Amino acid sequence: MARKADQLKAFQQEGLGLLLKGYSNAADWSSFTLKAYNADTEYYTLGSALFPTVSYRVKVAPREAEQFRSSFSRVTYGVPAFVYTGATIQLDNVSATVAGSSGPARQYTITQ
């Protein structure tokens, strides 16, 4: 009986893993709104249309904050990592690449 329960749990974990991997293709998760910048903590706050109850943030050095803000509309995203919280699927983190106006593109990480 324990073996059957273990097999069921493994099957559920595998299914959840496949669901989380496929979620990035099925959901419009990349609609972020840039909000306030806190120079003390060096974080921008981001809002998400898909996850309105979650506050996301991205660490940006003060000297890069203005460039990040002005280039945010052209950001490109890496492969997102999602988590299942027991009730919902949420974005855990994703890399964001922002083109530099006078230098190379910079990569940042968006997290909760």
89: β partners: 84
Structure tokens at 6: 């273990």
Selected residue with higher pLDDT from 88 and 57: 57
Nearest Cα to 85, choosing from 58, 112, 59, 49?
112
Nearest Cα to 54, choosing from 80, 78, 85, 76?
85
What does pTM read for this prediction?
A: 0.83
- 51-74 pLDDT tens trace: 999 999 999 999 999 999 999 999
